[in-house]
Structure 1
Amino acid sequence: MIGAQLRRARQGAGLSLAALSEVTDVSIGAISNIERGTSSPSIRTLRSLTNALGISIGDLFGEGGEPSRPSPEFVVRRDDRRRLRFWRTGISKELLTRVEQTNIELFYLTIEPYGSTGDAYTHRGEEAGFVIEGLLELTVDSETVVLREGDAFGFRSDRPHSFSNPAGQWARVLWVNTGNEKEL
């Protein structure tokens, strides 16, 4: 699902695998494996690819199921959420907003025990979040904090950041990204 969406975006931008590789410093083989669905990218790699293609991570989410009941364009019903699973990192995201309608991406993150984004990454925009359940270890610049249920955070996305679940229980986080920067 994510690979097919990424391939469509790359081809729509008129870029070859080699050209995208050159711009992102992600190997041709790695991009090909992601597009074929044989490899799961880290969030950092995915950010690099989407930034180079001029799209948001939200654009890679598959379509939700058939709408369960008619809804206004500004509503996303529970059963109609778009889902993206980073199986290598132990993180899954559900997109709670329609990226076509707003520059705000609202995500419901589920992080497996000891799941992690890996290395720090940056991108345009801002982000904020609220820990619903479990623990979230968040590093921004070189400062690391452990957030618990009920704790919140916010920072500019151009600051190097990463996160993980340092515990043996699942973590759930409501996460907001801005800077989708699409033509509305």
Structure 2
Amino acid sequence: MSVKNKHNDSDLSDEDTLNAPFDGSSVAGSTAPISDLGARIRQARKAKRMTLRMVAEKVGCSPSMLSKIETEHATPSLRTLHRVLAVLDTSIVHLFGSDAPREELSLMRAEDRPAVRVQRNAPGPSILLERLSPTFPELMLDANIHTLEPGAESGGDIQHAGQEVGYVLQGQAELIVSDKSYVLGAGDSFFFASSLPHRYRNLDDGVTRILWVATPATF
């Protein structure tokens, strides 16, 4: 693992989205069912009785861009998605589908794993978040597989409550925490407090896959 200093990215802008709909088969040949991300964001906004302008002002993007996200004409970056969820007082669990019934053991088959796609630049490589943990409301942790296309990145710094641990399954990634850069390869793991500013990107010529777990399940 190597460490180097990095400067923060610029503030959030509409360039943190992709002005195109998504074909789920484009990411590493994944067959994961893709969540209707935009419709669920709109549903959450309506439930909070907030207008597009009200949410956009708090998120830091234009109302027109938020409208495109809701109508599936644009895909948010990971940072944009995080800010939207924070403003709407909801979590990414809501975006994966209906609440699952609480069971003694929750089993999810590979072909049934729901997914959400995020993308920073227009056009550009994407990140697929494949759900590993169930979606019942009282969930205490959040587990996903992050699949990064070559050149994909999360966007600017993200900060929220909790702790995170990850394990690189495939490829090579740069993880930047508190302005320090860590180069991670397959088999490397990491842990950090989610309150620290963090972001990441794929350094590999091919796909990079990371098993990522966070607690509490706030994102």
Quote the offset at 1:60 in angstroms: 1.1
Stretch deviating more after TM superposition (123-132 or 143-152): 123-132
Aligned counterpart for 1:99 among listed residues 135, 138, 143: 135
- Tell me the distance in 2 between the aligned counterparts of 1:84 and 1:73: 23
* More contact order relative to length (CA 8 Å, sep ≥ 6): 2
1:74 is matched with which residue?
106
Q: Contact conserved, 1:99 with 1:105, CA < 8 A, in 2?
A: no
- Tell me the distance in 2 between the aligned counterparts of 1:160 and 1:122: 5
Quote the offset at 1:181 in angstroms: 5.3
SS at match of 2:87: helix
Where structure 2 has 5 or more consecutive residues not aligned to the other structure, the ranges are 1-35
- Tell me the distance in 2 between the aligned counterparts of 1:20 and 1:90: 24
Please give the root-mean-square deviation of Cα atoms over the aligned residues, in Å: 1.9
1:57 is matched with which residue?
92
Q: Contact conserved, 2:45 with 2:88, CA < 8 A, in 1?
A: yes
TM-score under structure 2 length normalisation = 0.74
- Tell me the distance in 1 between the aligned counterparts of 2:88 and 2:119: 23
Counterpart of 1:20, as a letter, is V
- Tell me the distance in 2 between the aligned counterparts of 1:116 and 1:21: 22
Q: Contact conserved, 1:93 with 1:108, CA < 8 A, in 2?
A: yes
Query: Judging changes above 3 Å, is the alpha-carbon distance between structure 1 residues 147 and 181 closer, same or farther for their aligned structure 2 residues?
Result: closer
Q: Contact conserved, 2:96 with 2:135, CA < 8 A, in 1?
A: no
Quote the offset at 1:23 in angstroms: 2.5
Matched, 1:130 2:133: no
TM-score under structure 1 length normalisation = 0.87
Where structure 1 has 5 or more consecutive residues not aligned to the other structure, the ranges are 64-70
Aligned counterpart for 1:115 among listed residues 125, 141, 152: 152
